[in-house]
Amino acid sequence: MIRSATLTLQPPLPPLAENSRLRLFSGSANPELSQEVARYLGMDLGPMVRKRFADGELYVQIQESIRGCDVYLMQPTCRPVNDHLMELLIMVDACRRASARQITAVIPYYGYARADRKTAGRESITAKLVANLITQAGASRILAMDLHSAQIQGYFDIPFDHVYGSPVIIDYLASKQLSDIVVVSPDVGGVARARAFAKKLDDAPLAIIDKRRHAHNVAEVMNVIGDVAGKTAVMVDDMIDTAGTICEGARLLRQQGARQVYACAIHPVFSPPALERLATGIFEEVIVTNTLPIDAAHHFPQLTVLSVANILGETIWRIHEDSSVSSMFR
């Protein structure tokens, strides 16, 4: 089920003046989200040609003058990650060469974010490499949503605005009037995120799932820290990839006596076999946002998709108007 976010942002945006220097362009990764953001801003997406040559090379051409404009390029670096990342770099370079005044890369989902540090010898810190690529291409500012690791902001030597999609999920959960909620972090690393989430849900109690990861995309759940018996467990994470961790955690919560289990995540990466795991009925509902596109054929009855277009649109407007972004989340 796809729902529009009920989050209301005040004050409402005035219509853009015809001579506004704000320009919004969309890459190919998630054009539906870009269209929603454009509607929120009361403007059209800028015209752009994208094509692929016979050998696989990408081509981008901006089809209107952007000289002296503040340009915002919408492109999550999702599957296929390398293609969408390269397309973003080419878009940035095209805008730089077209004499844009400021180029903001709007990245609702930042690919390679999990490679944010060395965990073994002779590994690349790919999150930093991607930051270098985007900066060197010519971006003058970054707008990203719910980074896997907040330290990635420090990998950039240009201004970075980090925003959150959790308000739309919290608003949706509040509308359901669930009782006896306990917010559950699927691992120790997500405790800060879950604690902030629980605080917004009337200071709901917190539980933590202790797990041990033995390999990439492989995790063994160990035990639950906290009381979940007879409660509505709301599992909170930044993304759902293969869904192995969150589904194993849900089974453990059921074994510990949880009455209902909900899964909440900002980024629905949904790498195989995530859909098969999530659709087994172990969750009452799987609540995600539209930072990444989800093909209609991959929807399942328990899935709810909320839109973050209003948050991104409001943030773009505030950046353009030199207004505070952080005050949106207070």
Q: Which is nearest to 233 in space by CA: 169, 175, 178?
A: 178
CA neighbor of 183 nearest in space, from 172, 194, 174, 175 = 194
The DSSP symbol for 54 reads T
Whether 211 is catalytic is: yes
CB neighbour burial string for 129-156, b if at least 16 within 10 angstroms, e if fewer: ebbeebbebbbbbbbbbbbbbeebeebb
Q: Which of 51, 199, 200, 211 is catalytic?
A: 211
Q: How many CA atoms lie within 13 A of 100 on its CB side?
A: 27
Distance CA(235)–CA(290), nearest Å, equals: 18
Max Cα–Cα distance, the chain, nearest Å = 61
Beta bridge partners of 163: 145
Q: Are the CB atoms for 145 and 197 separated by under 8 Å?
A: no
Q: Which residues are catalytic?
A: 211
